[in-house]
Structure formats: C-alpha cells, structure tokens
Amino acid sequence: MFEDAWLDTSGEDRVRFARRARLVRRTVADLLTQAVLMRRDALLGDPRPALGHHRSGELHQSGGLDRVADVVRDTHYAARSLIRRPAVLSVALISVGLGSAVTVAVLSLAHALVVAPLEVDTERVYWVDETRQGSRSIPLGIDAIPYSRFQSYEDAVAPHFTAFAGDQFWTFSLASDQGAVSVTGYLVTSSYFALLGLTPTVGRFIRSDDETSVVLGFDVWQQRYGGDRGVVGRSIQIDSRPFTVVGVAPRDFHGTTHGLRSDLWIPIEAYGFDPEEEFDWLTVFGRLRPDVPLDVASAAIDALAQATPGPRATVRGAALVPLTGVPPDDRGLIVRFLTLLVAGSMDTRIRLIVLLIASANVAGVLMTRGVSRSREVAIRRALGASRGRVTRLLLTETVLLFGVCGAVGLPLGALSLLLLERLSLPVGFDVAFDLAAEPGVLAVAMGVAAVAGLAFGLVPALQASGRPVAPSLKQTTRGGSRHAGGWRLFVGGQIALSVLLLVAAGVSTRSVLNARDLDLGFDPDDVVIGQVYLGPHGYSEEEGRALHRRMVDEILALPEVAAAGWSD
C-alpha cells in the first residue's frame, strides 16, 4: 500500500508522506511497547476489554472483587513508579515528611495542653472563678482569693457541694545529703485529696488534725528516697522546718494544672499561713452533689460571692468553671500560642501561607510529572482506558506518595517531641508535659497527609487525563505553548506567596529584636532576682526587714557582687 502511494505522488508529497509514515511507524511502535509494559504491570488485565472488544455488560459482572483487584494493581504500579523516579520521591519526602513531623509535634502539644484529662476523677468538679473590679491576683489563670474567704465559702456551700478544697502552687527548699534543693509543690487544704478521689501509694493523705505533715510525690519518693516505704513517719526538712512524711501520692498524679509537676503537698495550716491574712493567693474548687443541677449551684455561688465582701476589690459575682487542668484565662493564651506554632504569624491573612507554599510545591512537581507522562496517558486512553480509570490510577499514586511521606514524618515528629520535653523555660520552676505521640494524634497526622494527597493530586490527575489523545501522541517535547500561560501563573503565585512569607518573617524578626532592645530604664545584664517569704517562719514585720538588710550586707560582702538591694 505504501509503495503504490509512493509511486503516484510528486516530490513534495513524497516528503510529507514519508514524514507521516515515520510518525505512524513510531506511534505504532510506541503503542506496542506501552501495551507490553502495561500488560507486564498487570494494569489492563485481559487485553480484550482494554481494547474495547468486550461483550455488553461484561465489565459489570465481577462486582466489587474486581474493583478491589484494580486498587491493588494500581497501588502496586504506583509503588514501582515512585521507586523509578527518586527525584519526585525526594522532593515529596522533604515537603510532606517535614509537614507531617510538624503536625505530630503541634497536635501532641495541643493534646497535652488542652485535650488530655487530669489523672483524677474530675466529673462534676468545678473551679470557683470570681469576677472582680479592683485589685486581683491570678496566679495560674484563675482568680485567687484569701484563705479567710475560702473558709466562708466552705461552710456556706455545703448544701450544693460534697467537698470544697483549695490549693496554691509553691516553691520550697528541701534539705538533702547534698544540701538544700529547690522543689515545687502545692499548699492545700485538708479536703484536697479526698475531693479528688485519690488513693495513696504508701501511707495516707493529709487530715485536718495534722500539724506538720507532708505528702511526697511519686517521682521524688523514687528518686530521692529510693522508693523506700519506710520513709512514712520520717521527719524531713522543708524550708528549714521539720515535716513528717505521712504518705506518697499516686504515680501519675502531679496536681490540678497541666504542666506543673508537684514534688510534695503540705497542709496550709501546717505551713504557718495566718488565716486572717487578706492576701489573694488561694485557688478553690469543689465537687457538686449528684442531685444538684449545675445552674442551681452556679446561681448559689454567684449570690454567695456578691454577699461576701472582698478585702481589696469589689466582687461582682462568681462562676463555676470545669476543672480541666487548663484555667480559663490560660486557655486563650495556649490556643493563640498553638496557632502561632502552626502559622508562624498571628495575622489571620497569612496564617496558612507556609502550608500553601509546601502544598503548592508538591502540586507543582505532580503537574510537571503529569506533563512528562502525557504520551503514556494518551496511549492508555487509546488502548481503551477511560478518563476516570486513568484519573484513579494517578490519584492512587499521589495518595500513596503522600501516605509514605507522612509515615516517614511520624518518627521525625516523635523525635521533635523528645526535644520539646528537654526544653527548659525561664519561669523559675520546672514545667513538664507528657508529650507522647498518642495513637489518635498519629492517626490525625496520617489522615491529614491522605487528604492533602487527594486535594493537591486531583488537579494534576484531571489535567493529565483530560488532554486530547491524538495531539498527545504526536507531541515530541515535554511541554508546549498551550500550557505556558498556566505555568507562568502557577510559578508567579508561588513566588508571590514566598515573598509575602519572607516579608512577614522579616517584620516578625524585627519586632522581636526591637522588643529585646527595648529601654527598660535599667541594665538587666548580670542581674539576679531572688524571693524570700518569711511569713510562715514566724518573723514579724520588723524582724523581716532586719533580716533583709542583713542579707543585703552579706551579699555585698561577696567579691563577685557589685551591688545589691531589696524591696517589699
């Protein structure tokens, strides 16, 4: 056929005919090669349906089993395809893997700060949060009250609460064989442990008739006393005063506020606070009776707060806040802090820029790869594969890519949690969180990776599978002017987002530097601040002032000290 046509044509027609013949031969060779490859990869199954020679209804006879088999074949082919293209896999590992690691770290921190429950029975347990005008003390994110005010509450709320208690986070000096060490703990009322429904590991808890008792934390008991049960009944020195150990707290109990690890608990009465001292320092909470509705108890506590005059402020009322481990005034700060971690900026308009850039990078790689595979996709379409079938294949490859990268990011996230646990905050006491990667957090991180794969793989898949078959088979270059405008727009958008992120980062860095260089009116370099509370030690006001002056004189006598002073 080709020879007869060749003899009957002129010179120019022969040249055009030769070109077309070469194109046909090359196309047929490509079709045969791709058919062999696809047959080898088991993507087409029986070649007859793929070529369109099936009987009516034959494709619908096998049902769901064939669909499952298709998914398995697609996954197998996608895995082999990714292995053959290490560049694409490397870019995705860097972008998606690091993104998954950050997701695990931030979600774990959010879980530890906001979601994780306390290791106690907090059902129907509520903080009492007063609303005041005037002087206020908010030590841990909730309004504190004087001890005398707590005593007024304790007697009046008995019809609505089974128990009422108060605590205050404190810093103590614990004597040891190596000298005094600083520890943290709580000053508590005698009903504290009974209200929380705890059982001691060793010994008992505090009673109202205890004079100088202390309950040790489980970690301190193990680390400093070797887990010796004989420590119960022993006298130890706390703030230069003897206290008798009466028990050890449960292993997982550290207090009523997330992040604050308590080493010991001391009764307020035993520590020596003056009950008549009008100082706002005690945080109070109670457990509602089973038959008392929350709204009834709230109305009663609000009326009681208004009827009990405050010493230094006008009390407008009080509300009951669930005891969750995160005081209400701190919850908003924590949420904003977590938002800062995720976004890198508090500005709502640029909160998702980092995520958009990372996702756009991977989407750009997928779109580039889709252009390079246009001939392969066209051959599949020419052999009978539908657009939906090809789209599903490409989406399977993208989701698998994101899933593998997300799985690689999980151990990186766990490593970052270990680094966060070692982070020391400049707050004067240890702050610790249980940042273990919970199964729910890992599941969410993998789900985010899968959703990102679907979201940012759908457009490249539809674009690749939607190109016309004939032009794609004739295409000899990797790109084309047809898509040049779209590519320029895409790259321009990436550059614009990157520039915006750099500007925001520069402004934030400049703000931090300006805050660091802010003129405080004094030179803070090499300045050390200490705090001494003498009330529980029996000092009068005059004796306390005399001790402060003597301490300043002795500090000034040290050769390393240039100046010293004190304030009340």
Query: Per-residue pLDDT tens for 12-35?
Result: 666 666 666 665 666 555 555 555
- CA-nearest of 46, 52, 41 to 74 is 41
The per-residue pLDDT for 175 is 86
Rg of the chain in Å (alpha carbons): 36
Q: Which residues fall within 8 angstroms of residue 90, CB to CB, at 6 or more apart?
A: none
From the list 44, 338, 284, the residue with the least C-alpha distance to 148 is 284
Rounded Cα distance, 342 and 116, in Å: 20
Among the listed ranges 105-114, 120-129, 473-482, which one has the minimum average pLDDT value?
A: 473-482
Which tokens hold the place of 490? Answer: 């895409």
pLDDT band at 2 (very low <50, low <70, confident <90, very high): very low
225-239, 240-254, 288-302, 477-491: least confidently modelled range: 477-491
Structure tokens at 423: 């982070």
pLDDT of residue 347: 41
Is it the case that residue 246 has pLDDT exceeding 90?
yes
CB 544 within 8 A of CB 534: yes
Q: Which of 146-155, 279-288, 425-434 has the lowest mean pLDDT?
A: 425-434
Beta bridge partners of 173: 182
Neighbours of 41 (CB within 10 A): 14
Give the Cα separation of 288 and 122 in Å (integer).
10
Tokens describing residue 552: 């300043």
Transcribe 168-200 into DSSP letters.
EEEEEEE--TT--EEEEEEEE-TTHHHHHT---
Specify the 3-state DSSP secondary structure of 406: helix
Is-contact 306 192, C-beta < 8 A? no
Q: Residue 466 pLDDT more than 80?
A: no
Q: How far apart, in Å, are the Cα atoms of 471 and each of 391, 480, 482?
A: 19, 11, 11
pLDDT over 60 (residue 124): yes
pLDDT score of 50 more than 50: no
Which of the four pLDDT bands, split at 50, 70 and 90, describes residue 276?
Answer: low
Give mean pLDDT, residues 453-475: 68
Phi, psi of 149 (to 5 degrees): -70, -40
Q: Are 306 and 133 in contact (CB under 8 A)?
A: no
Task: Write the DSSP assignment of 127-177 as a string of letters.
Answer: EEEEEEEE----TTSS--B-HHHHHHHHHHTTTTEEEEEEEEEEEEEE--T
Position 274 scores a pLDDT of 66
> Is residue 208 within 8 Å of 167, Cβ to Cβ?
no
pLDDT exceeds cutoff 90 at 188: yes
Residues 405/413, Cβ–Cβ less than 8 Å: no
Q: How confident is the model at residue 51 (pLDDT cuts 50, 70, 90)?
A: very low
Q: How far is CA 333 from CA 47, 404, 424, 504, in A?
A: 63, 35, 19, 21
Mean pLDDT lowest for which of 35-49, 235-249, 346-360, 513-527? 35-49
- Token code pair at residue 190: 């005698």
478 token code pair: 């990797």
Position 7 pLDDT exceeds 50: no
pLDDT digits (tens, 9 = 90+) for 58-82: 434 445 566 777 778 878 877 887 7
The dihedral sign for the CA sequence 204, 208, 213, 214: positive
* Count of all residues that appear for the chain in the document: 568
Q: Cα–Cα distance between 315 and 130 in angstroms, integer?
A: 7
Q: What is the pLDDT of residue 370?
A: 61
| SS3 state at 252 | coil
Q: Residue 169: what are its φ and ψ, rounded to 5°? A: -70, 135
pLDDT band (50, 70, 90) for residue 479: very low
Q: Is pLDDT larger for residue 277 or for residue 407?
A: 407
DSSP code for 347: -
DSSP-H helix ranges across 235-352? 268-271, 294-307, 328-343
Which strand (E) or helix (H) includes residue 388? helix 387-421
Task: Give me the pLDDT at residue 345, please.
Answer: 41
Nearest to 334 by CA among 106, 510, 511, 103: 106
Q: What is the mean pLDDT of residues 360-383?
A: 67
Give the C-alpha separation, 524 to 515, whole Å.
14
CA distance 455 to 459: 8
Q: Please tell me whether the overall predicted TM-score, pTM, comes out greater than 0.85 for this model.
A: no
> CA separation (Å) from 41 to 66, 72, 364?
16, 12, 27
Among 215-219, 443-447, 468-472, the least confident range: 468-472
Band of residue 365 on the pLDDT scale cut at 50, 70, 90: low
Indicate the SS3 state at residue 520.
coil
Q: What are the Cα distances from residue 154, in Å, to 191, 311, 486, 502?
A: 10, 18, 71, 56
- Give the DSSP per-residue string, 52-121: T-PPTTGGGSSTHHHHHHHHHHHHHHHHHHHHT-HHHHHHHIIIIIHHHHHHHHHHHHHIIIIISPPSS-
- For 209, counting Cβ atoms within 10 Å of its Cβ (0-12 exposed, 13-18 middle, 19+ buried), the class is exposed
Residue 259 has pLDDT above 70, yes or no: yes
pLDDT of residue 481: 45
Tokens for 361, please give them: 């990078």
User: Residue 128's beta-bridge partner residues?
Assistant: 320
- DSSP-derived secondary structure letter, 478: S
Mean pLDDT of the chain: 75
More confident of the two residues 516 and 46: 516
Q: Where residue 53 falls among pLDDT bands split at 50, 70, 90?
A: very low
Q: By the 8 A CB rule, do 10 and 355 touch?
A: no
How far is residue 65's CA from residue 245's CA, in Å, rounded to a whole number? 68
